[in-house]
Amino acid sequence: MSFLTPFAAFGLLRLLSNFRPVDAAAVSAHYGSISIVTFIAATSALGRQSVPYEGFMVGVAAAMETPAILAALLIAQRSSNGTVSEPGELWRHSFLNGSVVILIGALVIGVITGQRGAMALKPFVLDLFPGLLCLFLLDIGILVGRGLEQGRKYLTAAAGLFAVLVPLCGAAAAAMLSYAIGLSPGGAALFMTLAASASYIAVPAALRLAMPQANPSIGLTLSLGLTFPFNLVIGIPLYIWAATQIIR
């Protein structure tokens, strides 16, 4: 799903906007990948509502980071006459960027240390988590404000529609897949959140290397300035409600 979403997002963006093909490809990578902060906020919301979910969804989040970047590279190569980075260099950067290494490394550490390691980290990972998340979201809010200031000229009505429509379509597709593969309501809500979120950390870092000619302000403005707050305020409650209604 992470690999296929950019193709649909690219087609929709080309239909709704007059962005250059390379800029549309870069934006599509943001929406095929995931926002780990949005995912964490969704797990926190499920915890407050005492809704259990599959632990392997953290692994799903890690797996969905990179395929969208590769898909966007294929799109850009087809539409920009080979002016993007070589695939080998992108593979290296995509799989070795900080967020992917941390996610996969944390999974390996969890497998090795098991329940004993989880209990040892509980005071920091669980007890302090709400406060740390609050501080991080405040910092993200500052970035949102700066992004809106720098990229507001790209916030046309069509771009705004894209920033809301793609997450809703992604969540709907994830809901059907969740039902088909037998996820719990909590797991389905997290999968819907992942499919609806847009990356603003890993993807911009990779695209600076892969597509240096793309304008980074467009993707950051849409993903961080519009989609991220939409998911926090409206999306996550909607996805949790829909998951509990669809999967019983």
Note the pLDDT tens digit of each residue in 99-114. Answer: 667 767 887 888 898 8
pLDDT at 193 over 90: yes
Q: Which among 67-71, 92-96, 164-168, 215-219 has the top mean pLDDT?
A: 164-168
Per-residue pLDDT of 140-155, as tens digits, reads 777 667 766 766 777 7
Is the CATH number of domain 5-246 1.20.1530.20?
yes
pLDDT at 225 over 90: no
**pLDDT score at 148:** 66
In three-state secondary structure terms, 240 is helix
CA distances from 213 to 21, 53, 82, 84, 199 (A): 11, 41, 12, 8, 19
In sequence order, what are the residues at sequence separation of 6 or more whose Cβ sits closer than 8 angstroms to the Cβ of residue 131? none
pLDDT at 202 over 90: no
**pLDDT score at 69:** 82
The overall average pLDDT reported for the chain is 84
**pLDDT score at 114:** 86
- Tell me how many degrees the CA angle 100-33-89 measures, rounded to the nearest 5: 60
- Average pLDDT, stretch 29-44? 92
In sequence order, what are the residues at sequence separation of 6 or more whose Cβ sits closer than 8 angstroms to the Cβ of residue 73? 25, 84, 85, 87, 90, 210, 211
- Average pLDDT, stretch 32-36? 91
Per-residue pLDDT band at 98 (split at 50, 70, 90): low
**pLDDT score at 80:** 60
